[in-house]
Structures are given as C-alpha cells and as structure tokens.
Structure 1
Amino acid sequence: MIVRTLEECKNSERRVASETWESVRMLLKDDKMGFSFHITTIFENTETHIHYQNHLESVYCMSGEGEIEVVGGETYPIKPGTLYILDKHDEHYLRAYKDKEMIMACVFNPPITGAETHDENGVYPLID
C-alpha cells in the first residue's frame, strides 16, 4: 500500500512549478500503478498552452473558474465539478479567470516520471 499526503508531496521534489501553474505529483511512474495522479493549481489570470502528444489526461476541477479552448475548436467553461478528458491528444489553452485560481485533480496515462515540464509546444516528453 502507498499512503501520501498532499502536504508531504508539496514539500518534496514532487512539486513542480512554472509561471502559470504548480503541479504536485502524488503518484508517479515509479509507483508502478500504470497512471500518475497530480493536484495542479492553475494560477489566476493566466493562460497555458498545452499539447500532450505523448499522454492522455483527465482533469477534474475541484475549485476556481476558467476555461479550456481547443485549438481550432470550441471553448468550454470550467468550474467546480467539471471533468474534461483529453482523449485525442487535444491541443488547447487552459485559462484561469481573474481572482479564480483553479485547483485540479489530474490523471495521466502513461504515467509521468515527475521530471516533465511543458516544452515550447506545450508537450511533456515521453521519458522511459
């Protein structure tokens, strides 16, 4: 059995941050579960370009408000209780509204190692 707390993970190398987001990676590839699990904060009044070409992701909004704009497609509102699934490696922009920092629970398949950050195209590399 694996037992971890969010606070414990925040105070470790499992916390990764950028100018627009912070990801606390509670479950990683080396845990051998076949997926990874993160609690991610999208900072208020920001926009992040993301294109997971090597991973599928499900994201559940626990708090805050914003939107996801699929490149060449629709824009969807995000609020607590919203689940979006990037089942086609959808390239998108993720935005948190002013004064509406979003806290998200995220699942990745294949699992990430914990070292990944977005490259210039919004992609996480596939690390073996």
Structure 2
Amino acid sequence: MIVKQLEDIVGSESDIDTDTWRSFRILLKKDGMGFSMHHTVIKAGTETYIWYKNHVEAVYCIQGSGEIEVLDNNKIYPIKNGTLYALNGHEKHKLRAKSDMHMVCVFNPPLTGREIHQEDGSYPLLEG
C-alpha cells in the first residue's frame, strides 16, 4: 500500500513550480501503479499551450474556473469544479485559468516527476 500526504510533497523534488502552473507529483512511475497522479494548480490569469504527444491525460477540476481550447477545431470548453476532460487523442490545446484551478491529473505512461513542458508543449518520455 502507498500512503502519501500533500504536505510531504510541498517543497520536495516532486513539487514543480513554473510561471503558469505548479504541480505536486503525488504518484510517479517509480511507484509502479502504471499511471502517475498529480495535484496541479493552474495559476489565475495564465494561458498554457500543451500537446501531450507522448501521453494521455485525464484531468478533474476540484476548485477554480477557466477553459480549455482544442486547437484542431477551436472549440472551447468551460472548466469549473466538477469538470473532467480527457486528452485521449493527444489534442493540442490551450489551458486558460480565470482563477487558480486545482486539478487532479492522471497520466499514462506515468511521469517520473522531473518533466516540464518542452517547446512543442509536450512532456518527454523519461526513464526513471
């Protein structure tokens, strides 16, 4: 069994802070679950271009509001508490936060915990 507390992740190497988001990497590849799980805060007033060409991701909003724009068709979906979206087709998208959005994110293949977005918006596949 794995038991972790968010307070133990804050300030650790699994706490990744960027200009537009902060991700607390809770479950990682090394935990052997076949997926990774993160508590990510998308910072209010920001826009982030993302393209997970190497991963699929499911995201569940637990606090805040914003929107996701799918760039292939320019369709915009509102995000608020209780919204789930799943990027099962490697969609290029922009994520915009009206307020801080707290998101529970699940990735497959699992992340190692060191990933940040590359210039093309993707995460690299890292061994770990």
Q: TM-score, normalised by structure 2?
A: 0.97
2 CA distance for matches of 1:108 and 1:123? 12
Structure 2 SS opposite 1:53: coil
Structure 1's unaligned 5+ residue stretches are none
Structure 1 SS opposite 2:94: strand
CA RMSD of aligned residues (A): 0.6
Write out aligned runs for 1:50-69 (5 A): 50-69=50-69
Structure 2 SS opposite 1:30: helix
What's the counterpart of residue 123 of structure 1? 122
How many residue pairs get matched? 126
CA distances 1:44-81 after superposition (whole Å, capped 9, x unpaired): 00000000000000000000000000012211000000
Structure 2 SS opposite 1:126: coil
* Structure 2 residue identity aligned to 1:102: M
1 CA distance for matches of 2:62 and 2:80? 8
Structure 2's unaligned 5+ residue stretches are none
2 CA distance for matches of 1:10 and 1:69? 30
* Structure 2 residue identity aligned to 1:35: F
Which aligned runs of 4 or more in structure 1 are off by greater than 2 angstroms?
none
Write out aligned runs for 1:85-124 (5 A): 85-97=86-98, 100-124=99-123
Write out aligned runs for 1:24-103 (5 A): 24-73=24-73, 74-97=75-98, 100-103=99-102
CA distances 1:63-112 after superposition (whole Å, capped 9, x unpaired): 00000000122110000000000000010000001xx1100000000000
Alpha-carbon shift at residue 11 of structure 1 (Å): 2.6
Structure 1 SS opposite 2:7: helix
Q: TM-score, normalised by structure 1?
A: 0.97
Aligned-pair identity (%): 56
* Structure 2 residue identity aligned to 1:124: Y
CA distances 1:4-29 after superposition (whole Å, capped 9, x unpaired): 10111113110001100000000000
